Amino acid sequence: MNISIFGLGYVGAVSLACLAREGHNVIGVDVDPAKLELIRGGRTPVVEEGMVELMAKVVASGRVVVTTDAGEALRNSEVSFICVGTPSASNGSQDQGAVLRLAREIGAELKRIDRVHTLAFRSTLVPGTVEDVLRPAIEEASGKKEGRDFHVCFQPEFLREGSSIRDYDNPPYTIVGANAEAPVQVLRRLFGHLPCDLHVTSVRSAEMIKYCCNNFHALKITFANETARLCEALGVDPFQVMDLVSRDTQLNISKAYLKPGFAFGGSCLPKDLRATLHLAKSHDVELPMHAGIIASNRAHLDHAIAKVLGTGKRRVGLVGLAFKTGTDDLRESPMVFLAEHLIGKGLTLAVYDPEVHLSSLLGANRRFIETHVPHLGALIASKLEDVAERSDVLVVGLNDKGTLEQLRRLLRPHHVVVSLVDIGDTSGLAGTHAGLCW
Ligand SMILES: NC(=O)c1ccc[n+]([C@@H]2O[C@H](COP(=O)([O-])OP(=O)(O)OC[C@H]3O[C@@H](n4cnc5c(N)ncnc54)[C@H](O)[C@@H]3O)[C@@H](O)[C@H]2O)c1
């Protein structure tokens, strides 16, 4: 295939070398003549393992051309990868100056090109940039229509500096954010052979996934480092601790706990987090990320409260009261907190949880209700029907299959459903869905 690459930094130069290695003809475009000169001479503009040999080889093959002329590149290729830098502006926002200027330049050149061209953005871009900023800029400069005269898509780049050729050959997956099949087919032809899955998403999701991955990596590093600081103060070996934490692939390094839902609660996580913070404080160890977890959980609760109040309905039915599905444990349940807050706002409440029947609650749970929330006991109904009948808004805090099926049958057009957990397909709901997660 004939390919253009705009921006020959780490991402662009490695992509150029790897695509040329695979037999494609690649035209590299950069505004920096020094980089172009290096590549023309078969040398690499970035320091990366394997790049010296690879660049020399692909340039010698004659399949690599470099230029500052965007028009020349676009005229001689069918797909372009945009890999220019998107650094931080001084206020922390993303500086999109280079990519926006380039989009306008590409648009002006596309005006004179009759073939349908695919533009794959690979620079990291905040969600919405391709569809709301770059596509309109290209359409305005070219007078052409995306989806008909040219295609845009977003393909996040997952390579890491230092191991970028290896990462190019073994990505975790290929993600293509696109609104049409044509750009997906182009990228499938180029990357479909890689030993990983190719997922097609909306353009915005693809943009978001890149941020989410980077933020998750930063979170992991910070978690390990904060844990290590506390371990050091306690005389514990942080390497052994983190090594064994990482070896639990059921609960720790797994999909567990990574599904969006309601705030955490229960008898363990909140109290153990509080104890960790107290311990750290008593040893003069700062753990801002750990401390932030509690504030973030509270913000999630506040968001749910605002969502329920935002429906404007005064008769609320809570489906679920325990801190998670399948248990009757009410200790530090965010659903209990939510119930109390809504009562405090003067709303009428009815509560149903298949696992929580006041008559059968024992020990710590019963004591919890009697001492902490005695007024809640009177609101617990034994049948979901009663709750549905007495409510205009139904707040779903559990994803027990049987209860959800029953709820679907009981929904009436006046009901507004606020789901705090994944309740599956919401398209056929009789009432209005105002879910938190989607
Ligand atoms: N570096 C990484 O490991 C990595 C990994 C994944 C994603 N990304 C993202 O990819 C993008 C590129 O990152 P990078 O590290 O390769 O950047 P870089 O700064 O190394 O390279 C960007 C290149 O774009 C060129 N450029 C600027 N304006 C141009 C224009 N109008 N036309 C042609 N070229 C132009 C610059 O001269 C420079 O050579 C960024 O959005 C970054 O966030 C980087």
**Is the CB of 80 within 6 Å of ligand 1?**
no
pLDDT digits (tens, 9 = 90+) for 33-83: 999 999 999 999 999 999 999 999 999 999 999 999 999 999 999 999 999
Provide the sign of the torsion angle of the four alpha carbons 386, 388, 390, 394, taken in this order. positive
Distance from Cα 279 to the centre of ligand 1, integer Å: 44
> Given a cut of 80, is residue 398 above it in pLDDT?
yes
Which among 189, 240, 246 has a CA at the least distance from the CA of 24? 189
Distance from Cα 17 to the centre of ligand 1, integer Å: 15
Tell me if 390 sits within 8 A of 317, measured CB to CB.
Answer: yes
Distance from Cα 163 to the centre of ligand 1, integer Å: 17
Active site residues: 268
Cα first-last separation, the chain: 39
pLDDT for the residue 330:
85
Average pLDDT, the chain: 94
Q: Considering only CA atoms, which residue is closest to atom 27 of ligand 1?
A: 84
pLDDT band at 399 (very low <50, low <70, confident <90, very high): confident
Can you give the length of the chain in residues?
Answer: 438
Tell me if 329 sits within 8 A of 296, measured CB to CB.
Answer: no
Which among 263, 260, 272, 156 has a CA at the least distance from the CA of 214? 156
**Is the CB of 155 within 6 Å of ligand 1?**
no
Distance from Cα 92 to the centre of ligand 1, integer Å: 18
**Is the CB of 100 within 6 Å of ligand 1?**
no
d(CA 287, CA 277): 7
**Is the CB of 38 within 6 Å of ligand 1?**
no
Distance from Cα 254 to the centre of ligand 1, integer Å: 32
Which region among 53-67, 68-82, 239-253, 354-368 has the lowest average model confidence (pLDDT)? 354-368
d(CA 136, CA 59): 36
Q: Kindly provide the b/e burial profile for residues 219-247, where b requires at least 16 CB atoms within 10 angstroms of the residue's own CB.
A: eeeebeebbbebbeeeeeebeebbeeeee
pLDDT band at 438 (very low <50, low <70, confident <90, very high): very low
Q: Considering only CA atoms, which residue is closest to atom 21 of ligand 1?
A: 9
DSSP labels for 65-105? EEES-HHHHHHT-SEEEE-----B-TTSSB--HHHHHHHHH
Q: Kindly provide the b/e burial profile for residues 357-387, where b requires at least 16 CB atoms within 10 angstroms of the residue's own CB.
A: eeeebeeebbebbeeebeebeebbbeebeeb
pLDDT digits (tens, 9 = 90+) for 201-229: 999 999 999 999 999 999 999 999 999 99
Beta pairing, strands 174-178 & 150-154: antiparallel
pLDDT for the residue 149:
97
**Is the CB of 403 within 6 Å of ligand 1?**
no
Q: How many CB atoms sit inside 10 A of residue 212's CB? A: 13
pLDDT digits (tens, 9 = 90+) for 69-87: 999 999 999 999 999 999 9
**Is the CB of 69 within 6 Å of ligand 1?**
no
What is the value of pTM for the model shown? 0.93
Task: Return the best residue to mutate from 4, 6, 11, 81 for the ligand 1 pocket (most ligand atoms within 8 A of CB).
Answer: 11
